[in-house]
């Protein structure tokens, strides 16, 4: 193949893109597996080799509770993002995280900037380039502001501020999450069911049953999913057939 081959030559173009698909799927998968192994190495070390009294069954129970709550997203999110990201970017995006709030806007901005039509190979390469640009900025800001500045902050912040950051981080995150969920309501019916079920579980059932608290979230999630499904709006005849 000559380097100055005209790109409209279909054969050349198909070859070049086949190489791209092979490289990105092979190396994308390999690097993702490495990231996966590394992200698990930390907790494995802490649980087994740090001299703490933690049983594998405790970790398993905790994981099952997390799975019961968020497990459905492990399947839904890849399926949702695939049409936007394409094969190659999937392996980038799921390792970097912050997909919806950062990577997808970055990819769309780049595609608009070079006027690439969604669904074309040009748009796919543009998305990969944009995500790579976003990765550079993201990695740099994390290393500088969290890695270096964070380490300095941890050893210099007054203990009472540290204590407050530690004790109140959960309500300080969840207050914002609730308002966001309610203001961007796409499913008011589901939200209402979730609020009523959660309030019943936390304020009515938990105080009556000692030691129930830890299973409260799982119960609330499972009941809300069931109720939201059976009480869903059935307007069009196609929905009735589908269910």
Footprint of other proteins on residues 100-129 (CB under 8 A)? 101-102, 105-107, 109-111, 113-114, 116, 120-122, 124-129
Asked if 153 is part of the footprint of other proteins (rule: CB under 8 A), the reply reads yes
What is the Cα–Cα distance from 91 to 25, expressed in whole angstroms? 8
Complex with other proteins: residue 38 or 208, whichever CB lies closer: 38
Q: Using CB atoms within 10 Å of the CB of residue 110, give its burial: 0 to 12 exposed, 13 to 18 middle, 19+ buried.
A: buried
**DSSP H/E element including 108:** helix 104-113
- Chain centroid to Cα 42, Å, comes to 20
Complex with other proteins: residue 209 or 239, whichever CB lies closer: 239
**Opening angle at CA 86, ends 180 and 81, nearest 5:** 20
Kindly state the smallest distance separating residue 144's Cβ from other proteins, in Å: 9
Direct distance between the N- and C-terminal alpha carbons of the chain, in angstroms, rounded to an integer: 55
Asked if 84 is part of the footprint of other proteins (rule: CB under 8 A), the reply reads no
Residues 6 or more apart in contact with residue 182 via CB below 8 angstroms:
191
Complex with other proteins: residue 52 or 208, whichever CB lies closer: 52
Residues 44-83, interacting with other proteins (CB under 8 A): 44-47, 50, 52-54, 58-59, 61-63, 65-67, 69-79, 82
Kindly state the smallest distance separating residue 217's Cβ from other proteins, in Å: 5
Kindly state the smallest distance separating residue 29's Cβ from other proteins, in Å: 6
What is the Cα–Cα distance from 121 to 128, expressed in whole angstroms? 11
Asked if 209 is part of the footprint of other proteins (rule: CB under 8 A), the reply reads no
**DSSP H/E element including 175:** helix 169-183
Residues 166-205, interacting with other proteins (CB under 8 A): 166-181, 183, 186-187, 190-191, 193-195, 197-199, 201-203
| Among residues 154, 208, 210, 237, the one that binds other proteins under rule CB under 8 A | 154
Complex with other proteins: residue 146 or 209, whichever CB lies closer: 146
Q: Are 35 and 96 in contact (CB under 8 A)?
A: no
Complex with other proteins: residue 120 or 209, whichever CB lies closer: 120
Q: Is 234 left (phi over 0), alpha (psi -120 to 50) or beta?
A: beta
């Amino acid at each position: 193949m000559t380097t100055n081959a005209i790109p409209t030559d279909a054969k050349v173009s198909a070859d070049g893109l086949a190489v791209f698909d092979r490289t990105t799927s092979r190396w994308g998968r390999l690097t993702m597996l490495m990231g996966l192994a590394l992200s698990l190495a930390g907790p494995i070390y802490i649980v087994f080799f740090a001299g703490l009294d933690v049983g594998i069954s405790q970790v398993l129970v905790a994981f099952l509770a997390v799975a019961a709550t968020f497990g459905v997203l492990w399947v839904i999110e890849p399926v949702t993002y695939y049409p936007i990201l394409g094969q190659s970017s999937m392996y980038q995006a799921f390792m970097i995280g912050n997909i919806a709030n950062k990577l997808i806007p970055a990819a769309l901005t780049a595609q608009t900037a070079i006027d690439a039509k969604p669904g074309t190979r040009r748009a796919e390469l543009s998305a990969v380039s944009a995500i790579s640009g976003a990765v550079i900025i993201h990695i740099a800001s994390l290393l500088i502001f969290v890695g270096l500045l964070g380490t300095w902050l941890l050893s210099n912040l007054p203990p009472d501020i540290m204590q407050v950051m530690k004790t109140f981080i959960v309500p300080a995150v969840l207050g914002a999450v609730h308002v966001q969920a309610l203001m961007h309501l796409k499913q008011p019916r589901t939200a209402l069911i979730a609020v009523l079920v959660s309030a019943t579980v936390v304020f009515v059932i938990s105080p009556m049953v000692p030691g129930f608290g830890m299973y409260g979230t799982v119960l609330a999630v499972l009941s809300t999913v069931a109720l939201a499904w059976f009480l869903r709006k059935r307007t069009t005849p196609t929905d009735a057939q589908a269910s």
